[in-house]
C-alpha cells in the first residue's frame, strides 16, 4: 500500500508550464551529429583559429599576476575595469555619455544578456516582434517569459541579372512590418548583422524600425554581437544612436564574437538606466556574478582597442579583413559545385541554396522532416560536412517556406575551409562521373 501511494504521487506533472513547447533545441541535435560524423564542421558558430595573443596573454597575466583578488567575486553587475572601458569605448561610438555603473551590465555571454532582457521586460500577454530568420533562442525566451512572439519575415527580392544573391536582397516590407505593431506590442528584437543570413540592416531600414518604435512606444532589444564583422566597406549602424532610440533600446554585445573567444562567455548590455535597472534585478536573481578573470582580460583587450581605434593594427579592423577573405573562399567553393551562396554582408555565416541537390538525398517515407533538415543530416553522415538547416531559424508557421537553404560558418582556419572545398569538389566529381 505504501509503495502504491508513493507511485501515485510520482504521476503529478513535474514540468513548469512555461517550458511547454520549447524543449526541442536545434543545437543539441546538430552539435551531437557533428561530433559523431563530421570531418569538417561548418555548423555551430565558433572560430577554430586562436583568440589573439594580446587577449590570451592578458588572461595569463590576470591568472598568475600579483592580484589574488582577481580570483574572488567582483562587482556583481560588471568588473569595474571592464565596465569603465566599455563605457568609454561605446560613449565614443554612440555619441552618448555613459555611466559605467548604470549604463553597462556584464552578463554570461550575450545569451544571458538576452535572458535578462526578456525576463525583465516581457509580461504575460505582451507581444514581441521578431524578424525572420532569427537566432532561435529569441522565440523560446519570449515564450518562457509569458510573451507572444509575432514574426515578420525578411522577403527575398532575387537579383534579376543572374548575379549571386546577397544578404542585402532580403528586405523588410515596410507595410508588412508596420502591420505587426499593435497596442500589445512591447518590444521589437533586432539582430544586425543578422545570424543566419549575414544581413547588415541599412540606415533606411533602421530608420523605419526606429520610427515605428517611437510611434507605438515600443522598446528595442538590439543584438549586435557581430558588430565588428562587416564586409566590403559596409557600415554597421547602431540603432541606439538614431533619434529617439537611446531611451528605448538595450544593446547586446559579446566578447566571444568580438575577440574570437566564444568559450569565455562574457557578454554585456548597454542602455539607459531606466531599462537596465530591471535587467539588474534578473541578473541578481540568476547568476549575480560573472567570472572575474575573464572580465579582467577582456577589459585589457578593450584598453588596447581603445588606443588603436580605427588603426590598421586594431583587431576590429584586422578580423573582418581576414573573415572577408574566408567568406570569399567559401563562396567560391560552394558556387563551383552549384550550391548557390547568398553572399553575406556580415557575421560568421553564409547561407546557400541547396535546391539543385534534391536527387542526392533519399526520401524518407512518412517523414514530415523538412528537406533542409534531411539534407544537413544526410550531408554530415555521408560526406562528413556539417552545416545547419535554415528553417531552424523560422517560426513553426513559416518554416515550410524556407526549406531549400543551409547555413555554413566560415570563421575557420584556412585548412578547414580547404578541407570543406575538397569534400565539395569530390562530391561534384562523383555527381558528374
Strands, E assignment, 29-116: 40-41, 104-108
225 three-class SS: coil
431 three-class SS: helix
Query: Which of 138/181 has CB closer to ligand PMP?
Result: 138
Beta bridge partners of 390: none
| Rounded Cα gap, residues 215 and 3, in angstroms | 62
Query: Which of 120/424 has CB closer to ligand PMP?
Result: 120
| Rounded Cα gap, residues 26 and 130, in angstroms | 18
The residue among 302, 263, 292 whose CA lies nearest residue 78 is 292
Residue nearest to ligand PMP (CB): 109
Residue 139 CB, nearest distance to ligand PMP (Å)?
13
Beta bridge partners of 41: 386
Query: Which of 112/248 has CB closer to ligand PMP?
Result: 112
Residue 196 CB, nearest distance to ligand PMP (Å)?
8
Query: Which of 74/251 has CB closer to ligand PMP?
Result: 251
Query: Which of 391/421 has CB closer to ligand PMP?
Result: 391
Residue 189 CB, nearest distance to ligand PMP (Å)?
10
Residue 348 CB, nearest distance to ligand PMP (Å)?
8
Beta bridge partners of 127: 148, 185
Would you call the peptide bond into 193 cis, given omega within 30 degrees of 0 as the criterion?
yes
Query: Which of 191/403 has CB closer to ligand PMP?
Result: 191
Residue 31 CB, nearest distance to ligand PMP (Å)?
12
Query: Which of 26/178 has CB closer to ligand PMP?
Result: 26
DSSP 363: P
| Rounded Cα gap, residues 114 and 336, in angstroms | 38
Query: Which of 199/265 has CB closer to ligand PMP?
Result: 265
Residue 224 CB, nearest distance to ligand PMP (Å)?
9
Residue 22 CB, nearest distance to ligand PMP (Å)?
17
| Rounded Cα gap, residues 241 and 247, in angstroms | 10
What's phi and psi for 350, nearest 5 deg? -140, 130
165 three-class SS: coil
The residue among 74, 102, 70 whose CA lies nearest residue 86 is 102
> The dihedral of CA 387, 131, 145, 17: what is its sign?
negative
Task: Name the residues that contact ligand PMP, by CB under 6 A.
Answer: 45, 109-111, 135, 191, 195, 223, 225, 254, 256, 262, 265, 267
DSSP 400: G
Residue 368 CB, nearest distance to ligand PMP (Å)?
27
What's phi and psi for 186, nearest 5 deg? -105, -40
Assign residue 217 a region (left: φ > 0; alpha: ψ between -120 and 50; beta: otherwise).
left
Query: Which of 262/295 has CB closer to ligand PMP?
Result: 262
Query: Which of 152/225 has CB closer to ligand PMP?
Result: 225
Residue 225 CB, nearest distance to ligand PMP (Å)?
5
Residue 167 CB, nearest distance to ligand PMP (Å)?
14
Number of Cβ within 10 Å of residue 265's Cβ equals: 18
H/E run at residue 280: helix 273-284
Amino acid at each position: 500500500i505504501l509503495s502504491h501511494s508513493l507511485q501515485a504521487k510520482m504521476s503529478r506533472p513535474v514540468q513548469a508550464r512555461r517550458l511547454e513547447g520549447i524543449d526541442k533545441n536545434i543545437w543539441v541535435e546538430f552539435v551531437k551529429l557533428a561530433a559523431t560524423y563530421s570531418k569538417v564542421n561548418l555548423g555551430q558558430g565558433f572560430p577554430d583559429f586562436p583568440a589573439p595573443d594580446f587577449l590570451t596573454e592578458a588572461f595569463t597575466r590576470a591568472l598568475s599576476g600579483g592580484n589574488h583578488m582577481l580570483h574572488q567575486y567582483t562587482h556583481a553587475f560588471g568588473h569595474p575595469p571592464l565596465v569603465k572601458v566599455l563605457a568609454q569605448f561605446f560613449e565614443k561610438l554612440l555619441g552618448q555619455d555613459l555611466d559605467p555603473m548604470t549604463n553597462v551590465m556584464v552578463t554570461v555571454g550575450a545569451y544571458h544578456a538576452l535572458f535578462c532582457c526578456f525576463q525583465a521586460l516581457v509580461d504575460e500577454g505582451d507581444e514581441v516582434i521578431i524578424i525572420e530568420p532569427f537566432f532561435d533562442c529569441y522565440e523560446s525566451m519570449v515564450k518562457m517569459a509569458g510573451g507572444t512572439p509575432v514574426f515578420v519575415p525578411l522577403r527575398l527580392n532575387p537579383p534579376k541579372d543572374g548575379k549571386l544573391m546577397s544578404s542585402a536582397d532580403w528586405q523588410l516590407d515596410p507595410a508588412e512590418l508596420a502591420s505587426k505593431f499593435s497596442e500589445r506590442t512591447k518590444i521589437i528584437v533586432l539582430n544586425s548583422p543578422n545570424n543566419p543570413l549575414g544581413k547588415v540592416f541599412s540606415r533606411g531600414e533602421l530608420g523605419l524600425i526606429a520610427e515605428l518604435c517611437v510611434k507605438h512606444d515600443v522598446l528595442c532589444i538590439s543584438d549586435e554581437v557581430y558588430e565588428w564583422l562587416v564586409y566590403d566597406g559596409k557600415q554597421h549602424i547602431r540603432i541606439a544612436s538614431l533619434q529617439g532610440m537611446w531611451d528605448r533600446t538595450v544593446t547586446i554585445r559579446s566578447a566571444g564574437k568580438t575577440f574570437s573567444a566564444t568559450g569565455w562567455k562574457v557578454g554585456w548590455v548597454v542602455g539607459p538606466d531606466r531599462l537596465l535597472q530591471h535587467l539588474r534585478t534578473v541578473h541578481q536573481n540568476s547568476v549575480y556574478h560573472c567570472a572575474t578573470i575573464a572580465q579582467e582580460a577582456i577589459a585589457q583587450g578593450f584598453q588596447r582597442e581603445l588606443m588603436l581605434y580605427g588603426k590598421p593594427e586594431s583587431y576590429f579592423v584586422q578580423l573582418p579583413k581576414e573573415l572577408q577573405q574566408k567568406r570569399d573562399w567559401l563562396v567560391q567553393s560552394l558556387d563551383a559545385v552549384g550550391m548557390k551562396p547568398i553572399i553575406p554582408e556580415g557575421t560568421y555565416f553564409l547561407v546557400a541554396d541547396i535546391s539543385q541537390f534534391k536527387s542526392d538525398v533519399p526520401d524518407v517515407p512518412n517523414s514530415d522532416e523538412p528537406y533542409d533538415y534531411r539534407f544537413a543530416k544526410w550531408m554530415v553522415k555521408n560526406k562528413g560536412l556539417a552545416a545547419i538547416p535554415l528553417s531552424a531559424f523560422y517560426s513553426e508557421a513559416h518554416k515550410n517556406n524556407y526549406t531549400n537553404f543551409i547555413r555554413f560558418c566560415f570563421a575557420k582556419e584556412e585548412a578547414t575551409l580547404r578541407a570543406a572545398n575538397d569534400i565539395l569538389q569530390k562530391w561534384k566529381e562523383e555527381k558528374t562521373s
